[in-house]
A and B are shown apart, each in its own frame.
Chain A
Amino acid sequence: MIHEMCRKFADEELAPHAGEWDKKHEFPSAAIAHLTELGLMGINVSDEYGGSDLDALAYAIVMEEISRGCASTGVIVSAHNSLYLFPIDKFGTEEQKQKWITPYTTAQTSTGLPLIGCFGLSEPGNGSDAGAASTTAKRDGDSYIINGTKAWITNAHESSAAVIFATTDKSLKHKGISAFIVPFDAEGFSLGAKEDKLGIRASSTANLIFEEVRIPKENLLGEEGQGFKIAMTTLDGGRIGVAGQGIGIASASIDCAVKYALERNAFGKPIAELQTIQNKISAMVMARDSARLLNWRAATLKDEGKGFTREAAMAKLAGSEAATMCAHQAIQVLGGMGYVSDMPAERYYRDARITEIYEGTSEIQHLVIAGNVLKEYKAAV
């Protein structure tokens, strides 16, 4: 029923407007408010903090369907749920959850939107090399003082707070990184300009700038030095969401390509009857379905409390590559029509591209997978 509801919502409320939102780089407030009402801005959080108490598999399915309608809406929902809410839910104290989760799952009466949160790990100087964080957090009495810049942050312009990672002891390298919750109304905090992106343009992406930002020590998330682990654990779950987003984009691309192929005539018949087109359709569906099953496996393992790092990395890698391949082929099937904004194929192509980059580049996913496999073999000797 949740799957049905999300599918219907995506078809009726997202897909018809996604093109417009993309063109105007417009944050889909009304849709996000509606999604909040439906309980999707707190999917996995407990009922106690205003959430819907659903599992990772439900999250994967929701992400697929929402992203099929609008990939920007997908990333907005995903970053908020798995990158902001999750780490606080998993590593936060009771007080932190009440302060930083409840208002972020519950609609405010004035806007219909909950407060929105984001996740700051990447910096101008390091993305894949997360352990080299140069944002600092210096303990000063009852506070920490944060200095530095975070880059490429999704939801930056709509957020009220962020979970960020800063080093409290550079000599300890990645073991010196700690996680903090920083409210955007803190003095010294500012936002960078919105990036002008190739795709997912309805979501905002910008730098978070910290200049002597003072936060109470109560805003430390988890323990000092635990930051890197918190980031990696968070990304594992987040990858299920991005995989879902990729699968959704792939599905939308397949839908677009197949419908077009059944109507477009060439050489006396619908191009869907040509072997070349059929090969493409088959390849697209293979890629999409494989990624979907990998993702459901990762989500199921997570729900069973088992390790799922390798499986999540595989799902994200497969999902993102399915998205780019299917979107690419959708344009190819549409020909000239795929290159213009009259059809959504060009938007899927632009939206798909980021999925191989954020939340761990494809190259990083390969390293995670291989590292995990090698560890397993070495342990068996």
Chain B
Amino acid sequence: MRILVGVKRVLDYNVRARVNAEKTAVDLSNVKMSLNPFCEIAVEEAVRLKEAKKADEVVAVTIGPKKANETLRSALAMGADRGVHIMTDLRTDYMQLQPLAVAKLLQKVTEKEKADLVLVGKQGIDSDCGQVGPMLAGMLNCAQATYAAKIEPSGDGGLTVERETDSGTETIELTSFPAVVSCDLRLNEPRYANIKSIMMAKKKKVEVLKAEEMGVDLEPMTEVLEVYEPPPRKEGIKVASVDELVDKLRNEAAVIP
């Protein structure tokens, strides 16, 4: 089984996002970028499946500028076998390249690589869309499982996936491939790349493609009108009694009937 894993270069989760002066986008100049945490979980799962001999090859794919090469290297250092770098200078944080175009690009790579399984993070922590996984499955006209918290071979060639939903866990079996699975937080805890893997990552093959030359319409479907920071949190108030609390909750905050 060949697994294709999508890895996205995003604002590092520790960095406080700041909006630019024009209020058109998050200011990404000189800001630390990292591998999207949910994509990291997807890579970890793919590598584990390979280590358990359930997969033969793990290919990591990223879409982004030259620097996105680092993101690919992180995936390779975790155990992916080779990489595909779709070069583009378009902003990948939803401002220019949006989920529909991303899904179309990944469809091309999935078909080119003849991937049997596509693992993606459930969402990017910059755009928080969560759309690429399901859209890609739709385009491939294949089975999907989103918000995976557990993935296990089902014994008859399929994959049993436990999905996290707001009302509890749903277990489904994927019996046809290719299939797309999006990975959620509780799926696994990604490994630290050991020195050997980091050194070997430098030698692994990365194929470079150009997004503009892949025959995909990259135009955004949605226009972003304004980007602004949420208002600063207002100070709370102290109440003198439970009755006053209930009154405020009911009549001011309107959170109880």
Contacts and interface: CB of A to CB of B under 8 A. Distances in A.
**Chains A and B bind each other:** yes
Interface of A: 1-2, 5, 8-9, 34, 37-40, 43, 52-54
Contacts of A53: 199
Interface residues of B, number: 11
25 contacts: A1-B73, A1-B193, A1-B198, A1-B201, A2-B195, A2-B198, A5-B192, A5-B193, A5-B198, A8-B192, A9-B192, A34-B192, A37-B194, A38-B192, A38-B193, A38-B194, A38-B195, A39-B194, A39-B195, A39-B196, A40-B195, A43-B195, A52-B196, A52-B199, A54-B195
B36 interface: no
B98 interface: no
Nearest to A8: B192
A269 B77 CA distance: 45
A360 B201 CA distance: 39
Interface in B63-87: 73-74, 77
Contacts of B73: 1
A9 B193 CA distance: 10
A1 B77 contact: yes
- Identify which of B192, B194, B195, B199 gathers the most chain A CB atoms within 10 Å of its CB: B195
B168 to A, nearest CB: 30
Interface of B: 73-74, 77, 192-196, 198-199, 201
A378 B212 CA distance: 67
Nearest to B14: A11
A166 B74 CA distance: 47
Contacts of A43: 195
A133 to B, nearest CB: 36
Contacts of A8: 192
B67 to A, nearest CB: 14
A1 B74 contact: yes
Q: Which 8 A-B pairs have the closest CB atoms?
A: A39-B195, A52-B195, A38-B194, A1-B198, A39-B194, A5-B192, A9-B192, A5-B193
Contacts of B199: 52-53
A34 B194 CA distance: 10
Contacts of A52: 195-196, 199
B55 to A, nearest CB: 22
Contacts of A34: 192
A98 B192 CA distance: 28
Contacts of B77: 1
A258 to B, nearest CB: 15
Contacts of A38: 192-195
Among A5, A34, A54, max chain B CB count under 10 A is at A5
A9 to B, nearest CB: 5
Nearest to B196: A39
A13 to B, nearest CB: 8
A244 B74 CA distance: 25
Contacts of A37: 194
Contacts of B195: 2, 38-40, 43, 52, 54
B211 to A, nearest CB: 25
A40 B198 CA distance: 13
A62 B168 CA distance: 43
Contacts of A54: 195
A50 B198 CA distance: 16
A5 B194 CA distance: 8
Contacts of B192: 5, 8-9, 34, 38
Most chain A beta carbons < 10 A, residue from B73, B194, B199: B194
A1 B194 CA distance: 10
Given A1-B77, A38-B195, 6 more contacts: A2-B195, A8-B192, A9-B192, A34-B192, A52-B195, A54-B195
A304 B232 CA distance: 53
